[in-house]
């Protein structure tokens, strides 16, 4: 599927396995960036903007879907160049103005497992261009009329506790960031709320019909058709269920089990990289199983099957 106006794509391969697509949406009255990628993308983003005839003064907003470092990494450079406003969901606004908080909360929710090292810090902070304030808090229902293109926000938690996607009405295009995570990567892309992720997948399935979606543009996947997105949604449901089955299976093997042991066993059994996102994901499944009455908390981060 070819990306068509009013959408203009800038792409970078973060790794051999992980692409990052950032989209400029061009309206008759003004234009917006949906996220800003990572710091090294700035020149390419500006080249895309110039090639489409969008002047700096035409860029009114960066609409951040969520606040992970690979989605806000050029915010400051774009804001400084265009004088645009930065809009984002409220939950992680402090991550924009404090990269220390971004790093600690994102990469080190278990500081006894992931020590503060220069390498770990660099992996989060080095792709961010500079601390900045968020000018506007946005949530589901926010609407931006660019002139000829109208964007409406939809809430898609799961990957994070707060994340937005956008529906462009004139082209019936859905723009998603990480509402569906990378399912086949060597690292676990991560989700922080299991129920939220499941609800988001169901919501996406329903919106395809309700909004008569014709095209889907995503941050880490090639453009999708409605049918291919339905296949991806089904695959994501299987992915979530697979993680849950492993966590429960490991828990059956001893009387009590720690989140660290569950995580290490998950990595071994699924051949995934030892990385902080996977630990946060396994912990999210533990919390979900506690909420559903499958696990009981014995002591902090230690569980038993009920």
Sheet holding 7-13, edge to edge: 7-13, 19-26, 31-34, 59-63, 85-88, 136-137
Sheet holding 257-258, edge to edge: 257-258, 302-305, 295-299
In this structure, what are the phi and psi dihedrals at residue 155, rounded to the nearest 5 degrees? -90, 130
Last residue of a domain, one of 218, 236, 254: 236
> For residue 195, what pLDDT is reported?
98
> For residue 251, what pLDDT is reported?
98
Separation between Cα atoms, residue 129 and residue 193, nearest integer Å: 28
pTM of the model: 0.96
DSSP state of 41: G
Last residue of a domain, one of 236, 266, 282: 236
* H-helix segments, the chain: 42-51, 75-82, 94-97, 99-107, 118-125, 194-210, 226-251, 259-270, 276-291
> For residue 218, what pLDDT is reported?
98
Do residues 281 and 110 touch, judged by C-beta distance below 8 A? no
> For residue 138, what pLDDT is reported?
98
**How do strand 295-299 and strand 136-137 relate by DSSP bridges?**
unpaired
Task: Spell out, as residue ranges, where the chain has pLDDT lower than 70.
Answer: 1
Count of domains in the chain?
Answer: 2
Q: Which residues partner with 302 through β-bridges?
A: 258, 299
Separation between Cα atoms, residue 92 and residue 157, nearest integer Å: 12
- The answer as to whether 1 is a domain residue is no
For residue 297, the domain's CATH number is 1.10.10
- One domain, residues 165 and 254: no
- One domain, residues 283 and 222: no
> For residue 1, what pLDDT is reported?
63
For residue 187, the domain's CATH number is 3.60.15.10
- One domain, residues 210 and 278: no
- One domain, residues 71 and 196: yes
Residue 76, domain extent: 7-236
**Block residue for tokens 């606040």:** 67
pLDDT in tens, 218-244: 999 999 999 999 999 999 999 999 999
- The answer as to whether 190 is a domain residue is yes
> For residue 3, what pLDDT is reported?
86
- How many separate helices (H) and strands (E) can be counted in the chain? 9, 14
Last residue of a domain, one of 213, 236, 259: 236
């Amino acid at each position: 599927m070819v990306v068509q106006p009013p959408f203009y794509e800038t792409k970078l391969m973060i790794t051999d396995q992980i692409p990052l697509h950032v989209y400029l949406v061009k309206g008759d009255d003004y234009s917006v960036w949906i996220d800003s990628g990572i710091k090294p993308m700035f020149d390419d983003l500006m080249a895309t903007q110039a090639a489409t005839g969008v002047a700096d003064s035409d860029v009114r907003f960066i609409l951040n879907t969520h606040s992970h470092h690979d989605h806000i990494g050029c915010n400051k450079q774009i804001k400084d160049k265009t004088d645009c406003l930065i809009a984002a969901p409220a939950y992680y606004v402090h991550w924009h103005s404090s990269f220390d908080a971004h790093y600690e909360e994102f990469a080190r929710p278990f500081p006894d497992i992931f020590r503060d090292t220069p390498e770990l810090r660099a992996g989060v902070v080095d792709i961010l261009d500079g601390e900045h304030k968020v000018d506007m808090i946005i949530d589901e229902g926010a609407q931006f009329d660019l002139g000829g293109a109208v964007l409406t926000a939809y809430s898609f938690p799961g990957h994070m506790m707060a994340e937005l996607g956008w529906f462009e009405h004139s082209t019936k295009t859905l723009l998603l960031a990480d509402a569906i995570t990378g399912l086949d990567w060597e690292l676990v892309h991560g989700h922080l709320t299991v129920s939220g992720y499941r609800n988001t997948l169901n919501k996406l399935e329903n919106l395809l019909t309700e909004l008569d979606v014709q095209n889907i543009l995503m941050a880490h996947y090639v453009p999708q058709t409605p049918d291919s997105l339905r296949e991806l949604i089904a695959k994501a449901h299987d992915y979530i269920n697979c993680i849950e089955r492993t966590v429960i299976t490991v828990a059956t093997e001893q009387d009590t089990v720690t989140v660290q042991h569950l995580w290490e066993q998950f990595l071994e059994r699924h051949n995934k990289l030892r990385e902080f996102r996977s630990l946060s994901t396994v912990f999210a499944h533990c919390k979900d199983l506690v909420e559903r009455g499958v696990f009981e908390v014995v002591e902090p981060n230690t569980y038993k099957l009920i």
